[in-house]
């Protein structure tokens, strides 16, 4: 939990209050999504750059942009912390590590292979 304030007077001295009621929750969510899972919106694309524990086999994220949904599956078969070997969108290999944000109201499948 992230506290918006910490009380300094009895009877609650040292306790945190207003957890998850403020913008602190949004910043925590953004930190996890961007710094750990490595999914960052850059213009009209999602840049993928995970930084995960080597022991993670992978993870999945559902990302919505308006009416369009992206099912993002990240696999880590080599047991690495960082590095993207390949990105595919709907079965087509993409150059680099960006997924274009298509605004077509459809559901898209993205697969990221770390290594």
Tell me the per-residue pLDDT of 56-103, one tens digit each, with 9 for 90 and over. Answer: 999 999 999 999 999 999 999 999 999 999 999 999 999 999 999 999
CATH H superfamily, domain 41-114: Maltose phosphorylase, domain 3 (2.60.420.10)
Tokens of 14: 């040292």
As a whole number of angstroms, the distance between CA 108 and CA 6 comes to 43
Q: Could you read off the pLDDT of 12-51 as tens digits, one per residue?
A: 888 877 666 667 777 888 889 999 999 999 999 999 999 9
Q: Could you read off the pLDDT of 92-110 as tens digits, one per residue?
A: 999 999 999 999 999 999 9
Q: Return the pLDDT at 2.
A: 65
Q: Return the pLDDT at 92.
A: 98
Helix (H, G, I), strand (E, B) or coil at 30: helix
DSSP state of 25: H
Cβ 39 vs Cβ 46: under 8 Å: yes
- Give the distance from CA 31 to its chain's centroid: 8
Domain with CATH 2.60.420.10 in the chain: 41-114
- Give the distance from CA 80 to its chain's centroid: 17
């Amino acid at each position: 939990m992230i506290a918006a304030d910490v009380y300094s007077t009895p009877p609650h001295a040292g306790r945190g209050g207003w957890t998850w009621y403020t913008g602190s929750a949004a910043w925590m969510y953004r930190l996890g999504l961007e710094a750990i899972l490595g999914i960052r919106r850059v213009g009209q694309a999602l840049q993928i750059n995970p930084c995960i524990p080597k022991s993670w086999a992978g993870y999945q994220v559902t990302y919505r942009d308006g009416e369009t949904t992206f099912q993002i599956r990240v696999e880590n078969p080599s047991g690495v912390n960082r590095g993207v070997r390949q990105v595919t969108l709907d079965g087509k290999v993409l150059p680099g590590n960006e997924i274009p944000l298509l605004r077509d109201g459809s559901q898209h499948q993205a697969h990221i292979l770390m290594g």
